[in-house]
Amino acid sequence: MQNKKVIFQDLGPMDYQQAWDLQEELLKETVGIKTANRSHPEEALPTTNRLLFVEHPHVYTLGKSGSIENLLLNEAELAAREISFYKINRGGDITYHGPGQIVGYPIFDLANFREDIHWYLRNLEQACINLIAEYGLEGDRIDGLTGVWLGKGTDNPRKILAIGVRCARWVTMHGFAFNVNTDLDLFKNIIPCGIDDKGVTSLEKELGRKMDYQLIKDQLKEHLRRVFEFEWA
């Protein structure tokens, strides 16, 4: 049975490890329901989909396929700048999370939607593309790279949405980071996503003004709902 309802939680500012632990707990719960359903189909229960929004304190995260060489600071320098660092179990390389950035963690059972990870990633990108179009910005995809980019085909391509996910038994975790009022100087301490010939950007930088963070969250929520065609629980 498909359940296309999504529970939304705005976790506000939250430590990275705390949010990671919560995701693991929710994923384990959903996978457990799926396992039980397979063993006892006559008693099958619907699985739950959740969308978590969070704003992390300064942190760098390195995906399982990433290279530590893309972190340009040592332990002492990280400590002096009060920046955390985690090696984590998502795909992708290194990225930064911090204040002014919307981090989204969909814990979706793709069996409720479509069991296709590429479709899932393209939908995350499309929601961002649709949102920034409201502000007159043209977001694009670049072949072979996940995320949403501005300036494709120019000498200044720059990423505004980064994506790194994990999927177990078609249940997703980790997700995306959308730069709203993000301090882009923090990206100078890494080679973002392991790509050294492209930059990063934010809505604030592109539009030349501080953005209404809560408004952007509300708009992003709505675009995700439309693209994935779900209802709020």
Active site residues: 193
Q: Which long-range contacts (CB under 8 A, 24 or more apart) does 31-34 make?
A: 31/168, 31/169, 31/171, 34/109, 34/111, 34/169, 34/171
Q: What does DSSP say about strands 49-55 and 5-13: parallel, antiparallel, or unpaired?
A: parallel
Q: Please tell me the distance from the alpha carbon of residue 32 to that of residue 114, in angstroms, as a whole number.
A: 19
Which tokens sit at 36? 């039980």
* DSSP conformation class of 197: T
Q: Please tell me the distance from the alpha carbon of residue 225 to that of residue 231, in angstroms, as a whole number.
A: 7
Residue given tokens 């969070």 in the structure block: 54
Q: Which residues pair with 13 in a beta bridge?
A: 55
